Structure 1
């Protein structure tokens, strides 16, 4: 139990002081550097912490933290701004709506969901993760990042999850160009079979992608003729959430 308590306290300290170094945490807790380092690595492997992208010697909380009891975070700017537009999008489409956030460049984490009333629908648990390169949510984020950051994702490998997964670096870059131009991303069976999704980025004031909103449906209900209409609806919802976050 002591190790669990220590891990939770270190997690809390990182959240309070992030981005923070091992040395700073060692001084704060009076623990051996090796003990703090092992705890940080364990929390990182579990998805709770990550190395800061700006300085890999520093640590910050991972996006998975947001997936724990989202209702407890309803007062936060993202959840408070997103809930009403998500419900309206669900009512207009009668399909499940997802709110996801990037965990660095590692993956996307689904942090909130509004379910539809369809008897057959897609289902993902809050806290589920998905690869950046094989999902609409991931593409929506990647399209807003620098070429160097996209290259970093590519360098980690483009794992195949099926015949539709984009595993060629240039094809991925071309797809991100299309997402940038259209304002939304489409995924049809790239990650999970018989799942289609349309996603758009939620942006901070400086243009940084902080989250995505997405429609998720069985691929059998996806209608190519309605893609532009649906894509605009998702992009409009994302733009509204972006504005509401900054008010």
Structure 2
């Protein structure tokens, strides 16, 4: 089913038109008028105007007089893409090493405020695993080990509302703050059935050149293969990579 972009009083097909609109900006055409946009998309000027206004409200376009240019949200996503590509390349050896040592699913996640964005994965070697579907997936930081790492080391602000996913999800801010203090002390985080029953993970921070936390590296698997008694050892292993 085609995705849609909803504006005030109307709904417009988004995928093809938005991509075509954004692709219309080039080095030689950093700004476009509504007439330019309409010609690029092959639509009426009123449709082009409404679509451009919707994208402006979302931060993907910015207006200067009667002309539009790419907005700060595009810059943010482009910066995230470049940074993510660099991190994946740098962390791939550590991910492969953890995969060989544990056989479990290894994920790399970065902050995508207010969420956690999974950007790379080495799948488990087990038939029954937690692999697949993680790349590109966003999760709420308080419910996952890599998110707790990003919260603990300041890469993501602590959310005001903590959504419950299972009976083990931390939904009290004081309890979360106490857990984050433990993460900072130990250098790794644990999440036991907090996002989904039976799913267990540990994660450790990845620090950039400036000393700030830029990503989180995690090991995840089913609870029967990653019992509570094994998590501290796995957490230290993750942190050592």
Structure 1 residue 185 and structure 2 residue 189: aligned? yes
Match of 1:97 in 2: 106
Highest RCO, 1 vs 2 (Cα 8 Å, sep ≥ 6): 1
Cα offsets for 1:208-228 (capped at 9, x unmatched): 221111001001211322222
**TM-score normalized by structure 2?**
0.72
Cα offsets for 1:175-197 (capped at 9, x unmatched): 00000000001011101111001
Helix, strand or coil for the counterpart of 2:31? helix
Structure 1 residue 9: Cα displacement: 4.8
Q: Which has the higher strand share?
A: 2
Distance, in Å, in 2 between the alignment partners of 1:110 and 1:75 is 10
**TM-score normalized by structure 1?**
0.70
Q: Are the structure 2 counterparts of residues 184 and 9 from structure 1 closer, same or farther at C-alpha, using a change threshold of 3 Å?
A: farther
Match of 1:149 in 2: 157
Q: Are the structure 2 counterparts of residues 40 and 190 from structure 1 closer, same or farther at C-alpha, using a change threshold of 3 Å?
A: farther
Cα offsets for 1:78-121 (capped at 9, x unmatched): 121111110011000111100111102x2111111101211211
Distance, in Å, in 2 between the alignment partners of 1:204 and 1:108 is 17
Matches within 5 A, 1:225-236: 225-236=229-240
Match of 1:115 in 2: 123
Distance, in Å, in 2 between the alignment partners of 1:8 and 1:101 is 26
Cα offsets for 1:136-180 (capped at 9, x unmatched): 01100000118x932xx1x2x111001000000100000000000
Give yes or no for contact 1:63–1:109 (8 Å, CA) kept in 2: no
Of 131-140 and 118-127, the range deviating more from structure 2? 118-127
| Residue segments in structure 2 that go unaligned for 5+ positions in a row | 1-15, 35-47, 61-70
Higher alpha-carbon Rg: 2
The alignment yields a C-alpha RMSD, in angstroms, of 3.2
| Residue segments in structure 1 that go unaligned for 5+ positions in a row | 14-24, 45-56, 67-72, 238-247
Match of 1:38 in 2: 54
Helix, strand or coil for the counterpart of 1:200? strand
Q: Which has the higher helix share?
A: 1
Structure 1 residue 37: Cα displacement: 4.4
Give yes or no for contact 2:124–2:130 (8 Å, CA) kept in 1: no
Q: Are the structure 2 counterparts of residues 221 and 2 from structure 1 closer, same or farther at C-alpha, using a change threshold of 3 Å?
A: closer
Helix, strand or coil for the counterpart of 1:6? helix
Helix, strand or coil for the counterpart of 2:94? helix
Give yes or no for contact 2:165–2:195 (8 Å, CA) kept in 1: yes
Structure 1 residue 41: Cα displacement: 4.9
Structure 1 residue 63: Cα displacement: 8.5
The structure 2 residue matched to 1:202, chosen from 199, 202, 206, is 206
